[in-house]
Chain A
Amino acid sequence: MSLKLNDINGAASEWAYGFKATSRSIKPVHIAQVIFSHTLDESYAPETLFKFAEKPSKTPSSELPDEIRNKFEISTREKDEDLDRLRRTMRKVLDNDNAMYASQRGSAPTCTSDWFILNPMTGVTVGRFVYHLISETEGNIERKLQTQLSDHHDSISLLFRPLVIDEEPTSPSIKPWQEPDADDPLEDGKIASDLRDGFETLGKHLKEKQGISLNYPRDLRRIVKFAGVAFYLYVANRHNELRTDGNDRSTRLPIVLNYTGERNNPVAKASLDCFDTVATEVQATTRLGVEKILDQRGYKDDSEYSETKILEKIESQELLELSRNKQSKIDDDYETFKYIFEGDPAEDTFDRLVNTVSDAIHQSRYKTYTPVDTVQTFGWRIGLLKPRGNRANERRFRPDPEVLEPIVLSVLSPDESISLQELCERLRERYGVIVGGTNSDRSQLSEWGVKMGSSTTESDPLSNRNKERFKQAVIDLGYAREYADGVTIVSADDR
């Protein structure tokens, strides 16, 4: 049996997370589509809408079917030109999340109501995990989501109404989230249970129906933004929850938010270290998964996979199943694989094979989408990491206000007033988010090997400038007020 690295990668991911975190193309709107379709238990296949939204350069308006053209009573002589222009502008509304593709497969239009919910193909298992967290709450979020999504009074829904009104909803492929084989992630003390509780609390802040409608799509964004953060934190913390080597840490993986506005200071460096630690931990999770999958598939069998036999299979190019056409590329792939295998220091042959497969998965030449790439790319797309963009490097944690808001609301009940320190404490304990200001910041960082150096100009840059600017960010959101004697009270009431 030959090894298909992509399959091993996917299976390892499912074993560890309960979903395939192996798609760099996953975007927040994809997760939105899955959460919404599962909440509603229905989706649409708006062919008319997609035909209309095609780029006029691909399908000029003059070539649109009559059923679409007849929906437009345009009085000018240049109807086709006007329609082309109108389509280009309207397409931008649907494509505000940059996820409209030439084919519908994988497409995810920006959505404010059920009319735009497709049966999603991308990010479906990740979305099911997040939906599972939501469905594990008392139901506030689902009820409010259903009301919001079935409301068509917002401007975007009305704008596309003539193109979607005739569509009948269909049942999407609703499946429950499959718990990973590794363990139950929602056990008390694990981060998924805190994230579920976060959704519970966030749900209490969402608006209720006003009169006959619930026209407040902002709440949809709050849920999806928090869902993105939940996905990131869950993946980042799995290795620590799964490892059995006795080296597990007692705290969450630290996520230092860099509010200093700079890149060259101890806080910024610690934030970068945390980013790197996430990568290391996610890669280590993959290794655990690979070990399990290879074991399940019989690669521990010495008689078949001794060092000599593995090297023979490499030599005869039987070990790997590669999606290559050119023999020279296949030769290169085997050469690299052999190089990694021979160089691995593990004494046990199976361990060496596991290490080699895990390392190969994380090498771009094998064209596998690694969980590391998936989660880090998603991190900047959701607005948790900066700078954004494919080509940026040295990313640090600096959430957009739209991301910080649901994070804060997820740990703050509507009727609560807490101190800023208590907020920092909750964020650190539940999510590992560190901004400074708690007594355990440094010990947690130290436990994870993240260095918080000293500054030549500030006594404690984490607890001083960084915390101050974080405080200001919460004040700017309207959720905190500063009083004398260093007292800052955080409350959702203050808005």
Chain B
Amino acid sequence: MATERAKPDKEFLTNLARGGFAESLSPTHRRAVHIETKLDEFLDQALSEGRQVVLTGNPGDGKTQHILMCQDSYPEGDYFYLLDASEYADYRNLLDEWKEAYDAGKPGILAINDGPLYRMTTEYQDEYEFLSTVEKQLKNQIIYSEDDAPDIDFDDINVIDLNNRNVLTHSIISQAIRRFSGQFAMEGHEHSGTCHIEYNAQKLQQKEIRENLIDLLHTVGHYGEHVTVRDLINFLCYVITGGKEECDTSDNEELRYYNLAFTGNGLLFDLVRRQFHSPDLVHPFIDSHLWARAEQKASFSDLDDADNVVYPQFLREKRRFLFEDKAIDLGYESRKLFQNLEYDFLNHRNRGSSQGDQEQFIRLLNGYFRSNNPRRSELDLWLSHRYRSKSSLALVSRTSVAKSDLVIRQPRLHPQIEDAINYSATHNALEYDHNGQPVRLRIDSNLFSTLSALDASVPYTLRDRDTEQQILEFMQEVEYYETYSSERGTISVKDTETGRIETIDVNDEIYQS
């Protein structure tokens, strides 16, 4: 292990705020910024047990960082490392080296972005047998049940797709905030007064503010976008420095962390802005108080200009309130705003595999097409059929499937790699299984909120057509596998313009009503 003393400084922090990454860091800095996760332990164990680990994913997922960190304890030569697959113009050269190491039983870590890795597995599998195992693992990172997990050999090679890693966990965010608001930010200042970097770092070191930031970032993780470690580091470093290396002691409010959190460029900033502008974050009590505070602070002479002057101030007030609710003291905690967001969906997602939740979801689906249909024991199947490009005038249903044929599945990591990374499912799935051929309806927050809105009496005519199409496609797939009488049954016809449903029994050649 190197004993070199870390020399972190605000210049380095600013560089990270501008998008710096592991390959360009000095070993000292790399070790200093490393955020410990489950993956460190997994890699340590894999290397010591003689396995090869393929880290795949997107740029910024931390693949190179992990390899460089491991090289301290597991030196190159004894171990096989691949830092950058893109350096190989011909994949055969890479694969030859890999095969040689694999055949020699040499453990190691390979960082290969998922695109190139997919290409290798499809184009070169015939020549390199071990790619078959890699492909199987790559395709089965996420499973819906133990039975669903195919029998794959994990003895020699482990593929870890970091696209599935959730970095917006309490532990990782908390560790990162402490890391970057600590000595990195606070050292190397040679000026009087408090500059913007010191101010922001000091604020983030306060427990209440830090916890609110963690809550905010944790919540945006529910949008289902893949946030990388690099995204998180860039975000935090920008929130502290504003991308400005020179210390600014002018007390410029635009450089305060609560404004910087909403003004940077990058995925995490986009998500935070999306969250901030969510209608769910509007709160009549809080917003009216904050508007009143903004009016007091803003100076305007003409009432017609008031909104233009007050609104920017209101934004700053609200941003600050999200983190400094205790200091502003409106008698309301900002985290309660976050926690209300998508509560029903998250609750469903987290508990979704119980029988009660399965029945609840069946009820929601039935209620989508037939309001006040409280049936939980079976799911009605509806058919929409037309050849023109316009919404159906009518939907038809003739049958239902018993709840025993349906199950709610929660996606999870394959058991062999579940200790490697944190995974947060963005959806559940309603699954119909026909002789081992599952048909799944993806229950994400969008579908759930559409169904819940109708359940809360939002008119059917305001439905989201894409969501409806998704449901109908699932139902058609299920109907394909079911067998029905061609002579009798109960048919319901829904007039989609009026919402009226007519139901009639067909019994051979007679209608009965």
* A interface with B by C-beta (< 8 Å): 27-29, 32, 71-76, 82, 85-86, 89-90, 92-93, 95-98, 110, 112, 151-159, 161-162, 165-166, 207, 210-213, 215-218, 221, 224-225, 380-383, 388, 400-403, 417, 483-487, 489
* Beta-carbon contact of B385 and A159 below 8 Å: no
* Beta-carbon contact of B387 and A155 below 8 Å: no
Report 30 cross-chain contacts, Cβ distance below 8 Å, ordered by A residue. A27-B387, A28-B389, A29-B388, A73-B510, A74-B513, A89-B495, A89-B500, A92-B394, A93-B394, A93-B396, A95-B393, A110-B386, A110-B387, A158-B398, A158-B484, A158-B488, A162-B508, A212-B483, A213-B483, A213-B486, A215-B482, A215-B484, A221-B385, A221-B387, A383-B388, A388-B389, A402-B389, A483-B113, A484-B58, A487-B116
Chain A, residue nearest B86 (CB): A485
Instruction: Please report the number of residue pairs spanning A and B whose Cβ atoms sit closer than 8 angstroms.
Output: 171
Interface positions, chain B 436-484, Cβ under 8 Å from A, are: 469, 473, 476, 479-484
Q: Within 8 Å of chain A (Cβ to Cβ): is B493?
A: yes
CA distance A85 to B493 in the complex (A): 12
* Beta-carbon contact of A486 and B115 below 8 Å: yes
Q: Within 8 Å of chain A (Cβ to Cβ): is B399?
A: yes
- In the complex, the 7 A-B pairs of residues with the closest C-beta atoms, listed nearest first: A487-B115, A383-B389, A155-B398, A483-B115, A484-B113, A96-B386, A485-B115
**Interchain nearest-CB distance for B437 vs A (Å):** 10
Q: Within 8 Å of chain A (Cβ to Cβ): is B19?
A: no
* Beta-carbon contact of B510 and A96 below 8 Å: no
* Beta-carbon contact of A485 and B113 below 8 Å: yes
- Inter-chain contacts of B392 with A (CB < 8 A): 96
- Inter-chain contacts of A401 with B (CB < 8 A): 469
* Beta-carbon contact of B509 and A161 below 8 Å: yes
* Beta-carbon contact of A96 and B385 below 8 Å: yes
* Beta-carbon contact of A96 and B393 below 8 Å: yes
- Inter-chain contacts of A112 with B (CB < 8 A): 385
Q: Within 8 Å of chain A (Cβ to Cβ): is B114?
A: yes
Chain B, residue nearest A221 (CB): B387
Apart from A89-B394, A213-B486, what 10 extra A-B contacts exist at CB < 8 Å? A72-B510, A76-B513, A90-B493, A92-B493, A97-B387, A155-B396, A159-B493, A380-B389, A381-B389, A402-B389
- Inter-chain contacts of B50 with A (CB < 8 A): none
* Beta-carbon contact of B480 and A216 below 8 Å: yes
- Inter-chain contacts of A153 with B (CB < 8 A): 483-486
Q: Within 8 Å of chain A (Cβ to Cβ): is B512?
A: yes
CA distance A99 to B199 in the complex (A): 71
Max chain A Cβ within 10 angstroms of own Cβ: one of B398, B488, B500: B398
* Beta-carbon contact of B476 and A159 below 8 Å: no
* Beta-carbon contact of A487 and B389 below 8 Å: no
- Inter-chain contacts of B32 with A (CB < 8 A): none
CA distance A211 to B58 in the complex (A): 44
* Beta-carbon contact of B387 and A224 below 8 Å: yes
CA distance A380 to B488 in the complex (A): 38
Q: Within 8 Å of chain A (Cβ to Cβ): is B195?
A: no
Instruction: Give the contacting residue for B118; candidates A96, A221, A489; CB below 8 A.
Output: A489
Max chain B Cβ within 10 angstroms of own Cβ: one of A95, A157, A210: A210
Chain B, residue nearest A385 (CB): B389
- Inter-chain contacts of B59 with A (CB < 8 A): 484-485
CA distance A149 to B481 in the complex (A): 17
- Inter-chain contacts of A157 with B (CB < 8 A): 486
CA distance A489 to B482 in the complex (A): 32
Q: Within 8 Å of chain A (Cβ to Cβ): is B491?
A: yes
Interface positions, chain B 489-508, Cβ under 8 Å from A, are: 489, 491, 493, 495, 500, 502, 504, 506, 508
CA distance A195 to B488 in the complex (A): 41
Chain B, residue nearest A213 (CB): B483
- Inter-chain contacts of A27 with B (CB < 8 A): 387-388
A153-B484, A215-B484, A483-B118 known; A93-B387 Cβ under 8 A: no
A162-B510, A225-B387 known; A86-B502 Cβ under 8 A: yes
CA distance A486 to B486 in the complex (A): 50
A98-B388, A159-B491, A489-B118 known; A92-B483 Cβ under 8 A: no
- Inter-chain contacts of A166 with B (CB < 8 A): 509
Q: Scoring B residues 345 to 358 as 1 if CB is less than 8 Å from chain A, else 0, what string do you get?
A: 00000000000000
**Interchain nearest-CB distance for A126 vs B (Å):** 14
Interface positions, chain B 348-401, Cβ under 8 Å from A, are: 383, 385-390, 392-394, 396-399
Instruction: Give the contacting residue for B114; candidates A74, A110, A484; CB below 8 A.
Output: A484
Instruction: Give the contacting residue for B506; candidates A85, A162, A381, A484; CB below 8 A.
Output: A162
* Beta-carbon contact of A159 and B386 below 8 Å: no
CA distance A221 to B114 in the complex (A): 35
A86-B502, A221-B385, A484-B58 known; A158-B486 Cβ under 8 A: yes
CA distance A157 to B491 in the complex (A): 11
